[in-house]
């Protein structure tokens, strides 16, 4: 559920700071991208090198002196969620009053994403009216508070104030990040146009940019789904989306079919070549050798393989038509899909490369519904609404 998600882990100066190393490790193990921001006091409890090794990135400790002139705004706009664990009483006070006096609180102040706060401190500090009022303020702003537990504290004291179990903190992060109508749903989206090699230099390709598939993946991730994007276009680097780069129809088939055991919904927006050269030359075909003849053979039908799989997910196909959509209803039936999204790729603003698309949904009962010309993100939203309704009814 956390694969591809972008998490800023804020660490403040308390003895529980060592537990943040476990949190960073578990998050990265689950495929999340983690960046750490530490208060100067936190570095007295645990070293920056630990987090650099665990996350692959140097923690931010200072607002000045690094390569980035504005690390707090960079981190804030990058993050899907910010987690402050452990959060000391001093940091809670700074967050509540909107301070920006260190890199951590400045990052939180500059953010618009959800914030999870896991306080840890001595019992008296936790129970103090000032701390409780700060927590009430933060909760009223929508911060998720993971309350501390009772147990042994620094110096051998016992009472409430020990950092919550790190696994409870990770569960909270997962819930906060992967919420929405598609939470818990595993999705595969195909995008882009495959390339079928003629020789090391040339290929048979098509005009697909990947924009339609990228929009479908982006909206699914924003609605809480775990998304794998199998793309023959460039990796679009979308938060919450794990991209698998492929080139040919054969590679796309292998990448999709090998992932079906964990797939709930597959949306096939890629423009997959129907034919490929029987044999790709290993060296560049030379003009001086005369006019070549290229024997074509069929590629695997990726969608057909998904439909016939014992792990068949809910299946959405696309149909690229030219001039008229009159063949689309028959295609929906022939392909055995649950929903077919047809577009006329010769119509203005539709199909290949554009930021907009005009599509018609064809349902398995033979009915259809046309949509106006929309931004591709809005087409994707409408598609997921249909999937939601159709899966619910199924």
Binding site for ligand PMT (CB under 6 A): 190, 208-212, 249, 268-272, 274, 299, 301-303, 317-320, 343, 345, 351-353
C-alpha dihedral, 201 to 205 to 207 to 213, nearest 10°: -110
Residue 8 or 189: the one with the smaller Cβ distance to ligand PMT is 189
Q: Tokens at residue 145, please? A: 């508070």
Task: Please say if 206 is a catalytic residue.
Answer: yes
Widest distance between CA atoms in the chain = 88
d(CA 91, CA 97): 10
Among residues 102, 206, 343, 357, the one annotated as catalytic is: 206
Query: What is the smallest separation between the CB atom of 211 and ligand PMT, expressed in angstroms?
Result: 3
d(CA 298, CA 255): 18
Residue 81 or 188: the one with the smaller Cβ distance to ligand PMT is 188
Query: What is the smallest separation between the CB atom of 341 and ligand PMT, expressed in angstroms?
Result: 7
Residue 135 or 345: the one with the smaller Cβ distance to ligand PMT is 345
Q: Yes or no: say if 31 and 3 are a contact pair by the CB < 8 Å rule.
A: yes
Query: What is the smallest separation between the CB atom of 393 and ligand PMT, expressed in angstroms?
Result: 22
Query: What is the smallest separation between the CB atom of 31 and ligand PMT, expressed in angstroms?
Result: 25
Backbone φ and ψ of 341, nearest 5°: -105, 110
Query: What is the smallest separation between the CB atom of 338 and ligand PMT, expressed in angstroms?
Result: 12
Q: Transcribe 267-320 into DSSP letters.
A: EE--B--SEEESS--SSPPPGGG------EEEPP-HHHHHHHSTT--EEEEEEE
Of 342, 22, 288, nearest to 168 by C-alpha is 22
Residue 6 or 376: the one with the smaller Cβ distance to ligand PMT is 376
d(CA 256, CA 391): 21
Strands 368-370 and 296-298, sheet pairing: unpaired
Query: What is the smallest separation between the CB atom of 144 and ligand PMT, expressed in angstroms?
Result: 36
Alpha helices in the chain (DSSP H): 19-29, 48-55, 71-78, 89-97, 103-109, 123-127, 129-140, 166-177, 211-222, 249-257, 302-308, 328-335, 376-393
d(CA 208, CA 187): 21
Residue 51 or 318: the one with the smaller Cβ distance to ligand PMT is 318
d(CA 53, CA 75): 19
Residue 18 or 203: the one with the smaller Cβ distance to ligand PMT is 203
Give me the active site residues, please.
206
């Amino acid at each position: 559920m956390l694969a591809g998600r972008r998490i800023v882990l804020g660490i403040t100066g308390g003895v529980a700071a060592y537990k943040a190393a476990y949190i960073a490790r578990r998050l990265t193990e689950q495929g999340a991208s983690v960046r750490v921001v530490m208060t100067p006091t936190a570095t007295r409890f645990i070293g920056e090198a630990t987090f650099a090794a665990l996350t692959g990135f140097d923690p931010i400790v200072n607002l000045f002196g690094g390569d980035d002139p504005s690390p707090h705004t960079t981190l804030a706009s990058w993050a899907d969620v910010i987690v402050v664990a452990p959060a000391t009483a001093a940091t809670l006070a700074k967050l509540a009053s909107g301070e920006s006096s260190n890199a951590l609180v400045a990052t939180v102040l500059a953010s618009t994403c959800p914030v999870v706060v896991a306080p840890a401190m001595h019992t008296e500090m936790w129970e103090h009216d000032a701390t409780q009022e700060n927590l009430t303020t933060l909760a009223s702003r929508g911060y998720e508070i993971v309350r501390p537990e009772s147990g042994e504290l620094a110096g051998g004291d016992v009472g409430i104030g020990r950092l919550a179990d790190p696994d409870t903190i990770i569960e909270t992060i997962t819930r906060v990040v992967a919420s929405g109508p598609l939470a818990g749903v595993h999705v595969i989206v195909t995008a882009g146009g495959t390339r079928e090699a003629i020789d090391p230099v040339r290929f048979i390709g098509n005009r697909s940019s990947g924009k339609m598939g990228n929009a479908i993946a982006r909206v699914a991730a924003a609605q809480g789904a775990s998304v794998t994007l199998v793309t023959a276009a460039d990796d679009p680097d979308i938060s919450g989306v794990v991209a698998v780069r492929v080139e040919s129809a054969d590679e796309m088939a292998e990448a999709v079919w090998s992932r079906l055991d964990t797939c709930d919904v597959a949306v096939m927006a890629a423009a997959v070549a129907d034919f490929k050269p029987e044999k790709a030359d290993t060296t560049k075909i030379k003009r001086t050798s005369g006019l070549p003849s290229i024997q074509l053979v069929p590629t695997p039908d990726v969608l057909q393989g998904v439909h016939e799989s014992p792990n068949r997910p809910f299946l959405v196909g696309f149909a690229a038509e030219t001039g008229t959509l009159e063949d689309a209803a028959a295609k929906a039936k022939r392909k055995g899909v649950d929903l077919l999204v047809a577009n006329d790729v010769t119509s203005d603003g539709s199909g290949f490369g554009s930021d907009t698309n005009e599509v018609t949904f064809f349902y398995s009962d033979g009915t259809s519904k046309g949509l106006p010309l929309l931004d591709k993100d809005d087409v994707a939203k409408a598609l997921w609404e249909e999937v939601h309704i159709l899966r619910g009814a199924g």
